[in-house]
Amino acid sequence: MRYIYFFCLLLFILSCKKTTIEQDTKIGGCTDPDSPLYDPTVDFEDASCLYAYIQEYEISYYPGEDPDASWPILTWDDPLSGSNADLILTIWEQETGNNIFTSSELPNQPYNSPGTWNAPENIKLFNKEYQWELVDYDGLNSNDFIASGTFNPIELASEGEITTIGNHTAGNQSQLKIYYYLAP
């Protein structure tokens, strides 16, 4: 009888379905392409997305001479006054033409010294193309074109900074940096 009881117990144990607990291998992260933290490899949104908001604009450098000027005046402004360019920066969304920033005049800004403007409002940047233009403000005359460029801020965003290069038709380059902070 003992053997029958033991055999039945063994048969019962072996006939039971084995259940295993599978570990959840899904990875959470930011699934919004408008966030610099976007990760296309994640499986689900875990509310970790943060967005880039502009704090400051900086022209790091621009050409020291106006390529459209005629000899002997090669500077942006009157060479007798020793003035440098009076910078005005404009940035807009390329697709819509919506202006997101037009700076005040930054007078007599040396070409090899960073010129900055604080953002008057904290504008959220998106994963789209933006365009910028830098001019030398001339007051009564037409402004002198210095450089322009396009950029996608989310593709360039790195550790609070977006750096993009603009060009003049003469091949000269200017550098724009946009400083941002991350927030929901």
- At 38-65, the pLDDT tens digits run 999 999 999 999 999 999 999 999 998 8
Q: Is residue 112 part of a domain?
A: yes
Distance (Å, rounded) from C-alpha 93 to C-alpha 97?
Answer: 5
How confident is residue 73, by pLDDT bands cut at 50, 70 and 90?
Answer: low
pLDDT at 120: 95
Q: Is residue 165 part of a domain?
A: yes
CATH of the domain at 139: 2.60.40.1110
Centre a 10 Å sphere on the Cβ of residue 75 and count the other Cβ atoms it contains.
19
Q: Is residue 2 part of a domain?
A: no
* Least reliable range by pLDDT among 49-53, 118-122, 170-174: 170-174
Centre a 10 Å sphere on the Cβ of residue 157 and count the other Cβ atoms it contains.
21
DSSP state of 43: S
Q: Is the pLDDT confidence value at 169 over 90?
A: no
Q: Is residue 77 part of a domain?
A: yes
If one counts the domains in the chain, the total is 1
Burial label, 89 (beta-carbon count in 10 A; 0-12, 13-18, 19+): buried
The closest of 116, 88, 85, 121 to 103, measured between CA atoms, is 88
- For residue 136, give its domain range: 52-183
- At 27-38, the pLDDT tens digits run 999 999 999 999
Q: Is 118 helix (H, G, I), strand (E, B) or coil?
A: strand
Per the CB < 8 A criterion, the answer to whether 145 and 168 are in contact is yes
Q: Is the pLDDT confidence value at 19 over 60?
A: no
Q: Is residue 31 part of a domain?
A: no
Q: Is residue 1 part of a domain?
A: no
Q: Is residue 121 part of a domain?
A: yes
